[in-house]
Structure 1
């Protein structure tokens, strides 16, 4: 009975913190230095946590302490929570300075659209400092930023949202890939070619169906269920640039790569996958002046891009 009650209790937070530091840094010594405690204290906290969860999270290989499979799974689960804690704490601290504006976004939008344009906003708003954070959690329940750029089907209770970018994706690849596997003039030419997948494998299947490639899954033809799967668009973009295969990506977010020739748009064959980019703010909360200006600038920049396309 005691064990059951123990499992129902909250975990020992000091021990969880020590485990997270060890798993992230890969060293008892470095974890101790970060938390300003001794390595032996870190080891003690790890043992305490293992006793609580009743399974080994670490094992010793020679003189080195490493994670078990259960330890790796546990770290993946708690690392997101620690990321939220650090982000939220940083935002609260930054609000002591009225110049600070925080915005969270996913990497592809940040690197492909936001950051290349941000200097223009900062030049026109020298009294505002912008803190850019990763939105690591697709359910977005823990977002504490002033503004957030979200990707999905717009189902976020408690938030006001403005659509920024549609869900249209197009097939792209690297010039080297095209030289090796081309020419590609129609959808059927993708038969047998490597595909790379962004977040799920369903989008390629929908694109192939949309453009009449129905003989999928057979020998010598496209099989949308295989090929490497990447967690987000930035990783998918890197894979396409590296020549791993054909990817489905949004043109406005890869404009630099298309203009420079790093990527080639294969076909004028878009597919709306039903997931869009939105600018979101918390409902019923008045934005600080700097955040309001940044939100207005983002919308104007997006409209300017649409008018120029």
Structure 2
């Protein structure tokens, strides 16, 4: 009923609507009458051979046409997906926000016949390697060894593609206003920006820098490391960031690293390919691309 009315109203003709829908004119007219009876209003009137809309019909048509357009677009999207390969990648929020999204267009250009479905998760160790074709994690050597010893990791392929070495970063303008950071001890005058996902990171870096007794002027805590780095770029304090992940921000002057030689490097980023994707050409291509992309910046 809806399709018959929409076509006739849009085309202004029962005859043309019947041709578009591949039914008879009487079938179109009958469907429109049924719709009017169901709604309890008149939607069309006859003006000679031309179909005219009542006020109610004219008000109804735009929304109805839009609804059919949305349905058509959704159906076309499903049809496209049915004919295209899909690669599901699970990654950590910080790696995704700071590095992967910016790099991903290059992979899509190199491998245009696959759709990448990107899923983020904060879980580093407790995950099923078979849940996704490829998972990306930040792990220490000991953490990786413990994971590979699990029965569920039989047949899982792993490769390192990017270091996770962190150093303090902050806004250049903020640093000019708040005072120089000539040595790590100067951080006592500043606000340190933490993330709940890496709660011990600042303590570890300060110990590396010989300032483990330092008490900062203030502290702010965010859910993820990339949010702390974003807050640093906005002048809220000093965060710990990976030079590889924030390379563009450092190169563009949005961020500065006052102690570039003091890098805490205890973990690396790894791709983890599911056993079910062992023979998947797209998964293999994605892991190879990660290796090349990581080597280019790392």
Shorter-chain TM-score tier: 0.5 to 0.7
- Note if contact 1:200-1:229 (Cα within 8 Å) is conserved in structure 2: no
Partner of 1:121: 107
Is 1:289 matched up with 2:281? yes
Is 1:196 matched up with 2:193? yes
Is 1:108 matched up with 2:94? yes
Q: Which runs of 4+ in 1 moved over 3 A?
A: 94-98
Partner of 1:303: 295
Runs (5+) with no aligned partner, structure 1: 1-93
1:142 CA drift (Å): 4.1
Query: Partners of 1:98 and 1:291 in 2: how far apart?
Result: 14
TM-score w.r.t. the length of structure 1 is 0.60
- Note if contact 1:146-1:287 (Cα within 8 Å) is conserved in structure 2: no
Worse-matched range after superposition: 138-147 or 232-241: 138-147
1:140 CA drift (Å): 4.0
Query: Partners of 2:86 and 2:118 in 1: how far apart?
Result: 10
TM-score w.r.t. the length of structure 2 is 0.63
Q: How many pairs were matched up?
A: 207
Q: Deviations over 1:49-96 (max 9, x none)?
A: xxxxxxxxxxxxxxxxxxxxxxxxxxxxxxxxxxxxxxxxxxxxx996
Runs (5+) with no aligned partner, structure 2: 1-79
Larger Rg: 2
1:102 CA drift (Å): 1.1
Is 1:267 matched up with 2:259? yes
Q: Secondary structure at the match of 1:117?
A: helix
Partner of 1:255: 247
Q: Secondary structure at the match of 1:207?
A: helix
Partner of 1:145: 132
Partner of 1:14: none
Aligned positions of 1:169-188 closer than 5 A? 169-188=166-185
Partner of 2:14: none
Query: Partners of 2:100 and 2:188 in 1: how far apart?
Result: 35
Query: Partners of 1:146 and 1:272 in 2: how far apart?
Result: 31
- Note if contact 1:147-1:291 (Cα within 8 Å) is conserved in structure 2: yes
Partner of 1:216: 214
Worse-matched range after superposition: 135-144 or 148-157: 135-144
Partner of 2:30: none
Task: Summarize the Cα distance change of 1:270–1:284 in structure 2 as closer, same or farther, 3 Å threshold.
Answer: farther
